[in-house]
């Protein structure tokens, strides 16, 4: 079985976010980038298939040279090869088109992407890849088993879970639950050393036109001042006379 894991290069959630050029560009200075958490759950599940069923695992990314440390981390976790499409990820459709082209060329049986990335939260790329490559698709996937050409997937739905049987080729949008958080892997020294010699291929982008663009960014409003109240009478008075909610 040949597996492609789509990797997004995203800012760490602890990073301080700023914008430049009149709030039209994201400022990358001082920002630590990581593997998108939803993609990391998918990569860990792919490693399980590699170890238990002898699968081959490739990691794919759309981006410039700055994303290669993130791909090397995925190789250190255990992926066999990495492929970077050398173009800026301008919007969800253009990213999906670039990845779909690489996936079609590679003949992958299973494509694992994150349900969404934590930077733009578009939640569209895995579904678009499936459509472009005429593959089956399961979103919000929290469980996956494969036997032969048949996949059994569990996905999260409103109020519960749904179990689906389908055939390969398959694209999933994975999330927390696909593996346990305790199963996520930290690269060890041996993995880091091996990652240096694993193939990282750079492919030029196919023609694609962005369907959307970011016009301007705006930070959330700062939190207001907090007033501490140490007794119930004062709290009731403030709610009644100041906040006027009772």
pLDDT above 90 (res 105): yes
DSSP 204: P
Q: What share of the chain in percent tops pLDDT 90?
A: 78
Q: pLDDT tens, 11-40?
A: 998 888 899 999 999 899 989 999 999 999
CATH superfamily of 2-242: HUPs (3.40.50.620)
Kindly list the distances between the CA atom of residue 114 and the CA atoms of 5, 40, 183, in Å, as whole numbers in the listed order: 9, 8, 17
pTM: 0.88
- Would you state the structure tokens that stand for residue 55, as one six-digit string? 């699968």
Rounded-to-integer distance, Cα 118 and Cα 33, Å: 11
Q: What average pLDDT does range 42-65 have in this prediction?
A: 97
Q: Which residue has the tokens 């996949």?
A: 151
What's the pLDDT at 223? Answer: 83
pLDDT above 90 (res 211): no
Sign of CA dihedral 39, 41, 46, 47: positive
What ranges do the domains of the chain cover? Answer: 2-242
Q: What average pLDDT does range 175-193 have in this prediction?
A: 93
């Amino acid at each position: 079985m040949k597996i492609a894991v789509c990797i997004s290069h995203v800012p760490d959630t602890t990073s301080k976010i700023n914008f430049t050029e009149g709030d039209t560009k994201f400022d990358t200075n001082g920002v630590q980038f990581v593997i998108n958490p939803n993609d990391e759950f998918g990569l860990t599940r792919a490693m399980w298939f590699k170890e238990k069923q002898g699968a081959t695992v490739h990691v794919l990314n759309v981006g410039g040279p700055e994303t290669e440390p993130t791909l090397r981390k995925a190789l250190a976790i255990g992926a066999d090869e990495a492929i970077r499409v050398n173009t800026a990820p301008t919007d969800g459709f253009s990213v999906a088109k670039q990845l779909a082209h690489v996936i079609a060329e590679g003949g992958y049986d299973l494509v694992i992407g994150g349900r969404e990335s934590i930077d733009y939260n578009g939640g569209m790329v895995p579904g678009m890849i499936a459509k472009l490559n005429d593959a089956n698709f399961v979103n919000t996937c929290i469980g996956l088993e494969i036997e032969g050409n048949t996949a059994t997937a569990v996905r999260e739905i409103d109020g519960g879970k749904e179990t689906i049987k389908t055939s390969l080729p398959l694209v999933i949008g994975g999330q927390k639950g696909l593996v346990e958080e305790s199963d996520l892997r930290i690269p060890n020294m041996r993995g880091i050393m091996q990652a240096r010699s694993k193939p990282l291929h750079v492919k030029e982008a196919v023609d694609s036109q962005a369907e959307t663009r970011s016009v301007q960014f705006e930070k959330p409003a700062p939190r207001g001042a907090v007033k501490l109240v140490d007794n119930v009478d004062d709290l009731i008075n403030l709610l009644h006379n100041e906040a006027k909610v009772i």
